[in-house]
Amino acid sequence: MEAQTVDIIDEKVTEQSIADRPVLRERRESDDAMIIDSWLRSGLQYPIFTAECGRPPIRLRPPPGLLLSQNRTFLQKILPLTSVAVLCDPEDSDHIIGWICYEEDCLHFIFVKYNFRRLGFANELMEKANLPDECEVSWRTPALNFFKKYSWTWNPYRSWR
């Protein structure tokens, strides 16, 4: 067997990653599958309504798959009616890094892929949304705690149409 050698021209390879130069664009219909999938995977960890209610708690569990199917239908209806900004790789605009779904005074959901978190991309998406400091949020997630300047009012009915 012949050994293969690799010539190293420069030890310091300067390669720009997509983390250095994402591009903001409007939602395309072809983005909906990724947006809905990421919303469901993240959002259903923190459902709009909890499964327990009352005192003492009444533990009512929905049938298997109900939350997933109903929320998918719900999201398919609201996406075209809201503003959605997508953060993507400039060399491949189909490679989505994150997205935000909002109205002028309501944040419905914000998502950034795990490997791109803590790089300021969520703040960039929030700047694009230009939400007032006091606004509503229709879906609660722990990520809202990172946006200290906002005073959130939770209104799960806001996105119902």
Tell me the pLDDT tens digit for each residue of 115-141.
Answer: 999 999 999 999 999 999 999 998 888
Q: Do the beta carbons of residue 32 and residue 84 sit within 8 Å? A: no
Rounded to an integer, the average pLDDT of 16-45 is 83
Q: How far apart are CA 74 and CA 63, in angstroms?
A: 17
Instruction: Give mean pLDDT, residues 139-152.
Output: 89
What is the secondary structure of 84-111 as a DSSP string? EEEEEETTEEEEEEEEEEEETTEEEEEE
Q: Which of 97-133 are b and which e, b meaning 16 or more Cβ less than 10 Å from the residue's Cβ?
A: bbbbbbbeebbbbbbbeeebeeeebbebbbeebebee
pLDDT reported for residue 50: 53
Q: Which of 92, 109, 99, 37 minimizes the C-alpha distance to 68?
A: 37
Range of lowest pLDDT (13-22, 71-80, 89-98): 13-22
How much is the average pLDDT of 30-45?
88
CA angle 96, 104, 129 (to 5 degrees): 35
